[in-house]
Structure 1
């Protein structure tokens, strides 16, 4: 926990010094039963949507597809759409998160557990784990039409 806080602080501090905006992606991937895929990171508490940073030279759309496969082994279909772009004030004051949705997924072999992703789980949106992050819960409720949209992560 302390290690993740220190790392988050250092990344945010570096971003502020560079005055750079950062962009990350998250993917709400739904299976044929309407369940959404969540991940538990090895370095941060709670359940999250799969995702990560957009690499230089990569579009947010490309990053979403790549991160989904890397973290979960799930391959997005041709229906990947942008749900929203949200400001993340808790990560250096310049971070934004693009959330994508896909419902036509192909489930490939699950990557072995590693330091980044400790666990993966398919969940119904109306039965999310207690420790799902507040931002993840908000995005999922927006996506299924049970919550109002917000501009902040």
Structure 2
């Protein structure tokens, strides 16, 4: 059922937006662990983030998504790591990836209802099973010295 719901949402999203833009962030706690979410509508662990709405600046979208999914409010400008092509997922899709270190955010009540199944702080050098290729690549770039790829997950 979740696969059908995801495909219907993705189809609607593609028809309503010929180019899509998303944001994701590596939000770190004091121990250097990264906040991860498991959504109710797709399998696996992801860094918090989501789509940029029409007319919305990307950094505002990131701030909105972090409050919704992670209960994190930015109190400093996040650092943009790179812009990635996500064409393997949708034609003409891009993802902006940000770094949000400890001290640049404050905890607030998460506002997303029903979207998040589980959250965890994980060591990015020892990621859990179930993270996708894109998340694994971002961890290797940010924490392992891997050169930054222009592709979120797979070269098309």
Given that 2:27 and 2:100 are in contact with CA atoms closer than 8 Å, whether structure 1 keeps it comes out as yes
- In structure 1, runs of 5+ residues without a counterpart are none
Given that 2:86 and 2:94 are in contact with CA atoms closer than 8 Å, whether structure 1 keeps it comes out as yes
Aligned length: 151
101-110 or 47-56, which deviates more: 101-110
Given that 2:5 and 2:41 are in contact with CA atoms closer than 8 Å, whether structure 1 keeps it comes out as no
Is the alpha carbon distance of 1:105 and 1:20 closer, same or farther for their aligned partners in structure 2, counting shifts above 3 Å? same
Give me the TM-score of the superposition, normalised by structure 2: 0.84
Question: Partner of 2:68: helix, strand, or coil?
Answer: helix
RMSD: 2.2
Is the alpha carbon distance of 1:16 and 1:37 closer, same or farther for their aligned partners in structure 2, counting shifts above 3 Å? closer
> Hey, what does 2:95 align to over in structure 1?
97
Is the alpha carbon distance of 1:108 and 1:150 closer, same or farther for their aligned partners in structure 2, counting shifts above 3 Å? same
Superposition map of 1:42-53 within 5 A: 42-53=40-51
> Hey, what does 1:115 align to over in structure 2?
114
> Hey, what does 1:28 align to over in structure 2?
26
Give me the TM-score of the superposition, normalised by structure 1: 0.86
- In structure 2, runs of 5+ residues without a counterpart are none
